[in-house]
Structure 1
Amino acid sequence: MDRPVEMFDRVHEWAALTRFIADPQPGATLGVVSGRRRQGKTFLLDAACRAAGGFYFGATEATDAESLRRIGAALTEHVRSASPFHFANWGEAIDVLLDLGRERPTPVVIDEFPYLARANPELPSLIQEAFRPLREQRTTSRTRLLLCGSALPFMGRLLSGNAPLRGRAGLELVVRTLDHRLAAEFWGISDPLLALKVNAVVGGTPAYRREFARGDSPRGPEDFDAWVVRTVLNPETPLFREARYLLAEEPDLRDTALYLSVLAAVADGNTTRGGMAGYLERKAVDIAHPINVLEDAGLLRREADVFRENRSTYRIAEPLIAFHHAIMRPVWDQLERPGSAERVWQASRRRFASNVLGPHFEQICREWALHHADPDLFGGLPARVGQGVVHDPRSRTGHEIDVAVVGIADGRKAPLLAIGEAKLNDTMGMGHIDRLRRIRSLVAESGRYDTAGTRLICFSGAGFNDGLHEVAREADDVVLVDLARLYRQDA
């Protein structure tokens, strides 16, 4: 299948769908496609159906009977049947879907499948029965049935544990947000600092540029402040309320006020369970459930401390939600009044730099180390990249590490490939390297990791002084990474 020319990237996802749909083996097969809202799943699957002559059905929130009527009408139009389809139950509908692939491999997409399953909880079991290995309707069909959904907790359970469809799917595809490099290309931004700032506000969700901002991208670094005012802080644009809607659209989030407060706590810098509990004036055990639900929904991400297994920190996974809680929610009443956005933004820029942009820069550095950096830079392939605190028993202090790169254990003590410090607005010098060397020696004394080849990495958005450049040229264990390198494809 030829990928549509208007489709940005999604090369991997399109290739996976092509292999699944064009698979010549006999028998109907099942696939599951998931991903957060606004990532372009519908566009991707609809394009695949058009390219392969398949059938696409988008479910809505409706009763079971109404959904059966809707899919019957859609199938009647698709096959141009003289007699309209009227289904008494989903078993009949599924068999007609299987019959669509009787002559050739044919994609059949049911989008927003969780809506149908909520109205009829037996639907996954009915599909399991329809895909029974020796059932004639399956063996004589080459339908490639794709179930798609944005409700991540539900989609995650669809193929797990004792779920009816476990073991039935031949494809499990997750459509993710664009990473920082692809997002910069998608927004048409070549300046790395500007790209980082925009990414810290709207992340890598494609719909936020095309539909929500109507193609409005900052014209240059000097236009960033005006762009924030006329888009995300503008009550006339969909971006203004999007963060609220993302939370409201999650079916497992019932006590919305509590979930909003948990996210607000994290946005305010309270990144541990104890910190969140203190912010909310509740016991840590009382917020365990909302934290878990936000994790399952892909809105909150837990990151274990690389140096202390029993300690974890949390961060908001969606930049727009982090921006909303740090900048917009505290002054929501002011922002709703037309003409107030510029005044609010001017007063919020410092908070944006400290609570949003700084932590986002650190996260981009970690993602670069894990997904983009040449493994030779670290002397090995990273197994995981995180952050943590190294304890100094002599001074009884803790040293924070922004980027810690851990290698593959290979039957021995895991190698600590690199430790790094990330400073967006500071020109870095020898003081930062001296600090990293001290921390490396503390890790070596603890015996937790093999530090024989640990590299020291300085990430800076403001550059490095001449002394540090000279040391990096002469020392094999010192690596300097600026914004240009974070965004350069060959770095």
Structure 2
Amino acid sequence: MTFYDREAELDTLSDAVESPGADFVVVYGRRRVGKTELLKEFCANRPHIYFLAAQEAEHRQREKFLDQVADYFDERVPRIDGWDEAFEYLGEQLQREDLVVVIDEFPYLVAENDSLPSYVQGFVDQELDGTDSMIVLCGSSVSTMESEILGHESPLYGRRTAQLDVTPFSFQQAREVISYDIQDAIRSYAVTGGTPMYLTLFDYTQSLAANIQSHVLSPSAVLYNEPEFLLRTELRNPARYMSILEAVALGHTTPNEISGATGIDSGPLSKYLQTLRRLRLIERDVPVMASGKKSKRSRYRVADEFLRFWFRYVEPNRSSIEEAPEIVYDGTIEPDLPTHVATTFEDVCQEAVWEGIRRGTFDPYSEVGRWWYGEEEIDIVGLAPNDDRVLLAECKWTTDPVGEDLVESLRAKAEHVRWGPPDRDEQFALFSKSGFVDGLEAQLDDSWSLFTVADIDDLLTPS
């Protein structure tokens, strides 16, 4: 797979390895986000041992680890009975040469021997200390990495010198991969999200429809069962979690709505939602000026565009897809896809606002997010408390150009946003897939900014 972006992550790793002394680095994140490719890119021109753990018996895991260490130092494999001795052997070798040592999929080792973190602790404290080497523990099981390595009760707590939570690409980062024009790039991102493996599966010389049918709707395709695979790696009984994700993807976003759609009582549901949030599979949104933990106006959303697409279109239509995927695409997905993409477009516009703030296209705002109260909603609201300034923006993924109706609607909604003094500075922005009616910009004063998708593309293209 071609390596894209990740300059910030590479810089973090490079700064760590080039600083004096030993380093213990933790790299984690959901499957398919490119952790392995990142570490291989980092190690490419450095002396290193890269060990990829597998789901197999402990003695085979340890034997393979020792094989790689001994092979690097051109030695015979020592007779060793436990992980404590294996790490002692590695430590002896690091006295001869400074290396980067990567143990990928570390949770597989922990699954076979839950004492591994203690052995690594002994290695970090006694063997690694005093060298200029680096050990990197990497894993895709977010729950294991956070509890067994980063958690307060882990023997390794507080010993890391750096950590990387590798997340999917933003649209701006994914744009490097997606070679469609800007409209189709947004539509494509609404299907793949920012997961590098999903992005690179698509053939951008083919239409989006062809890619969806060949890579998502085909029962033999990798992405057809991908969400089930992801859930089964983290959860023993994923059925209820899948029903929650499907409910949220289909628009049931409050706890009461999710409970009604799934039949799960509010008590157990709260625990399921907490688990899905910890696994980065759903996010809890609150209005931008609300207190996050205390707000009762929370909504949930599927945290990944591909998962949202899959649970909206694939999971509810499995039987039909098995029989006639083309009919499912033509009759179910294509007519509804603009509604699905509209949510993605709001996120892309929010990225554009942040980039506009960095570039000076927008005035500074310290917080940017969605706002709602009762039946009223505004797609993007930015807050600048020190200047009593508020940004109010709407994003329209429609086939018709935006006109005065949206301007008047946004002005009316602004009156319901209770924030700042009565004489606050109000700035407005409109983002439109299909542009604006002739003469609209001339009718508006300097407090309004209008953005087409071409303008968004310019904003998100590196200067």
Query: What residue ranges of structure 1 are gaps of 5+ in the alignment?
Result: 392-397
Tell me, yes or no, if structure 1 residue 138 matches structure 2 residue 157. Answer: no
Q: Would you say the 8 A contact 1:218–1:224 is kept in 2?
A: no
CA distance in 2 between counterparts of 1:149 and 1:431 reads 50
Tell me, yes or no, if structure 1 residue 31 matches structure 2 residue 1. Answer: no
Which residue is equivalent to 1:195? 185
Give the superposition deviation at 1:346. 0.7
Q: 1:289 to 1:69 in 2, by over 3 A?
A: same
The SS at the match of 1:169 is: coil
The SS at the match of 2:221 is: coil
Which residue is equivalent to 2:363? 379
Equivalent of 1:366 in 326, 331, 350: 350
Equivalent of 1:435 in 385, 392, 409: 409
Which residue is equivalent to 2:250? 268
Give the superposition deviation at 1:375. 6.1
The SS at the match of 2:300 is: strand
Which residue is equivalent to 2:3? 7
Q: 1:418 to 1:105 in 2, by over 3 A?
A: farther
Tell me, yes or no, if structure 1 residue 150 matches structure 2 residue 140. Answer: yes
Equivalent of 1:281 in 263, 272, 277: 263
| Aligned amino acid, residue 363 of structure 2 | G
Give the superposition deviation at 1:379. 2.0
Equivalent of 2:114 in 116, 121, 124: 121
Equivalent of 2:49 in 31, 51, 55: 55
The SS at the match of 2:345 is: helix
Question: How many positions carry a matched residue from both structures?
Answer: 454
Equivalent of 2:211 in 202, 227, 230: 227
CA distance in 2 between counterparts of 1:97 and 1:471 reads 72
Give the superposition deviation at 1:373. 4.3
Q: 1:479 to 1:87 in 2, by over 3 A?
A: farther
Aligned residue runs from structure 1 range 321-336, under 5 A: 321-336=307-322
Give the superposition deviation at 1:449. 7.1
Render the CA deviation track for 1:356-386: whole Å, top value 9, x for unaligned: 2121112222233235544634421x33322
Q: Would you say the 8 A contact 1:57–1:109 is kept in 2?
A: yes
Which residue is equivalent to 2:456? 486
Tell me, yes or no, if structure 1 residue 112 matches structure 2 residue 105. Answer: yes
Q: Would you say the 8 A contact 1:416–1:450 is kept in 2?
A: no
Q: Give the structure, 1 or 2, with the largest relative contact order (CA under 8 Å, sep 6 or more).
A: 2
Which residue is equivalent to 1:470? 442
Q: 1:490 to 1:131 in 2, by over 3 A?
A: closer
Q: Would you say the 8 A contact 1:100–1:106 is kept in 2?
A: no
Tell me, yes or no, if structure 1 residue 98 matches structure 2 residue 98. Answer: no
The SS at the match of 2:296 is: coil
Which residue is equivalent to 1:394? none
RMSD of aligned Cα (Å)? 2.3
| Aligned amino acid, residue 318 of structure 1 | D
Q: 1:451 to 1:62 in 2, by over 3 A?
A: farther
Q: Would you say the 8 A contact 1:273–1:313 is kept in 2?
A: yes
| Aligned amino acid, residue 36 of structure 1 | R
The SS at the match of 1:118 is: helix
CA distance in 2 between counterparts of 1:88 and 1:321 reads 43
Give the superposition deviation at 1:350. 2.2
TM-score (norm 1): 0.86
Which residue is equivalent to 1:419? 392
Q: 1:155 to 1:486 in 2, by over 3 A?
A: farther
Tell me, yes or no, if structure 1 residue 217 matches structure 2 residue 214. Answer: no
The SS at the match of 2:225 is: helix
| Aligned amino acid, residue 172 of structure 1 | Q
CA distance in 2 between counterparts of 1:449 and 1:35 reads 42
Q: Would you say the 8 A contact 1:303–1:386 is kept in 2?
A: no
Query: What residue ranges of structure 2 are gaps of 5+ in the alignment?
Result: none
| Aligned amino acid, residue 58 of structure 2 | D
